[in-house]
Each structure stands twice: as C-alpha cells, then as structure tokens.
C-alpha cells in the first residue's frame, strides 16, 4: 500500500528533457523511501520496455538532499531506483554518499536492484561492501533475513541466447564478477532469469550457469537466490509480438 506523501517530501520540480522531471520521493509507509536516480535506461535490450524510454538522470546535488532529508525524517530503508545505476554520471559520488550515510546511521538499510556485470569494476565492488545493510528488493518482499547480496541479471544461461536478446554480456563476465565479489567479501548473489520464450523452451542453460557459479568456490560457501520470471512481451520492444509458452 502506498500512503500519501508526507510534509517533508519535496514538491514537484521540472529539470527539462535531459534530467528527471521530478525530485519527489516516493514514500512506502513512513520508514521506507524510494530514491529515483535515473529514468529510462542507457541500454536497449530487446525484451525490456524501460529501454524504450529516454534516459534521464537526477542531478547529484538533488539526490544528496533527498537522501539527507529522508534520513532526517526517520526513514530506515532507502530503495535506490535505477535500471542502470552504474551508468549514472555521478555513480561513485552517489555510492560514497550512501557509504557515509550508513556509517553515520547504522540502522539504515540500503536496497539496490540488479547491476550490470560489465560495469562492476573491482573498485565498485569494494564500495558496495562498505555500504552497511546493503540488501535487495527481493528480500524485502519475501521478508527473508538481511545479508550482503549482489544482484545480477543474466536473464538466460548462454551467450548465444543472451546476445539474441540484445544484452551483450558474456557468461565469462558474470563469472568474473562473482569471483571478484567473493574476493571482497560478498558470498551471496541474487540472479534474475527469464523463462518461457516461444523459441527456447529449455532451462538447461540456466542450470549450467548456476552450477558454474556454485563451482567457483572450493568450500561451496556461496548463496545463490534464483528468481525466474516468465517472459511477457512488452510493447515498444523488438520482441513485442513474440509468443510465450
């Protein structure tokens, strides 16, 4: 349930075509706030409608004011909303701000969605580990325990099929990120996959992908949460007229 915005939430402000059209904070209950970093997506995956929208960014100074205001007014959980967070022009500054906030307010929980594997450098992984109570929206909705998790979206298990979806990230890149993440202390992962394409009705590629990820640690001390989503054709995408199983 979405409750009406509270008095401290900023009023609507327009920034023009290259930036987001509002700096409102969406408040879910009184202790959870959604901070919108970007609108649209910098990429154009064939199955995703978000990429059909113009890519816009919220200025970093506006985001920092929103974050400070939210915490000052008792928000305990910040949901960072962005389809391509690491393509944000001030991503490192934003992550540093989140690190500072969570150290200043130990009870603050930061929720970040999936991140593109081809943008996750070693230094970014280190920054993520410095954000106390870094979590994932999936855990919020399932009421699971909080732990340090990194969320990736391979979508499918093979390079050929992923490239067919116009998401040009090879399996090797995902495995490198999982390996590097473990080196900096991240041993929990959420992996998003899509199933039900009418041109591909198998899941053996997903099984192989997950097995390869599990085999990347000798003592098997790795947690992988798998989220399977049925393919639903979206309008304004190259795959909008494809069938589903």
Ordered per-residue pLDDT tens for the chain, 245 residues = 333 333 333 333 233 334 444 455 666 566 888 999 999 998 999 999 898 888 999 999 999 999 998 888 888 889 999 999 999 999 999 999 999 999 999 888 888 888 999 999 999 999 988 886 666 655 554 555 556 788 999 999 999 999 999 999 999 999 999 999 999 988 888 899 999 998 888 899 999 999 999 988 766 578 888 999 999 998 889 898 888 76
Q: What is the pLDDT of residue 3?
A: 34
| C-alpha distances out from residue 69 to 54, 65, 96, Å | 28, 6, 17
> Could you give the CA distance from residue 185 to residue 128 in angstroms, rounded to a whole number?
10
pTM, full prediction: 0.82
User: Residue 157 and residue 209: Cα distance in Å, rounded?
Assistant: 5
Per-residue confidence (pLDDT) for residue 201, from 0 to 100: 83
Q: What secondary structure, in 3-state letters, does the chain show?
A: CCCCCCCCCCCCCCCCCCECCCCCCEEECCCEEEEECEECCCCCCCCCCHHHCCCEECCHHHHHHHHHHHHHCCCCEEEEECCCHHHCCCHHHHHHHHHHHHHHCCCCEEEECCCCHHHCCHHHHHHHHCCCCEECHHHHHHCCCCCCCEEEEEECCCHHHHHHCCCCCCHHHHHHHHHHHHHCCCCEEEEEEEECECCECCCHHHHHHHHHHHCCCCCCCCEEEEEEEECCCCCCCCCCCCCEC
Report the pLDDT value the prediction gives residue 12, as an integer from 0 to 100: 33
Query: What's the pLDDT score for residue 221?
Result: 78
pLDDT value for 158: 96
At 19 the pLDDT is 47
């Amino acid at each position: 349930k979405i409750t009406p915005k509270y008095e401290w939430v900023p009023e609507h402000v327009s920034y023009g075509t290259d930036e987001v059209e509002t700096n409102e904070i969406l408040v879910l209950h009184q202790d959870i706030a959604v901070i919108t970093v970007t609108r649209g997506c910098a990429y154009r995956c064939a199955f995703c409608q978000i990429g059909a929208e113009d890519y816009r960014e919220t200025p970093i100074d506006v985001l920092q004011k929103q974050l400070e205001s939210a915490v000052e007014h008792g928000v305990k959980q910040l949901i960072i909303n962005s389809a391509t967070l690491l393509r944000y022009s001030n991503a490192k500054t934003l992550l540093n701000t989140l690190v500072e906030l969570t150290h200043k307010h130990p009870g603050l929980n930061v929720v970040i969605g999936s991140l593109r594997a081809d943008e996750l450098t070693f230094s970014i992984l280190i920054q993520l580990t410095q954000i106390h109570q870094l979590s994932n929206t999936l855990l919020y909705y399932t009421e699971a325990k909080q732990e340090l998790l990194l969320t990736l979206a391979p979508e499918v298990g093979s390079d050929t099929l992923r490239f067919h979806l116009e998401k040009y990230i090879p399996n090797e890149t995902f495995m490198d990120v999982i390996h590097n993440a473990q080196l900096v202390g991240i041993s929990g992962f959420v992996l998003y996959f899509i199933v039900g394409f009418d041109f591909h009705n198998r899941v053996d590629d997903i099984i192989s992908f997950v097995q390869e990820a599990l085999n990347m640690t000798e003592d098997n001390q790795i947690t992988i949460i798998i989220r399977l989503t049925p393919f639903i054709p979206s309008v304004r995408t190259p795959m909008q007229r494809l069938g589903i199983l």
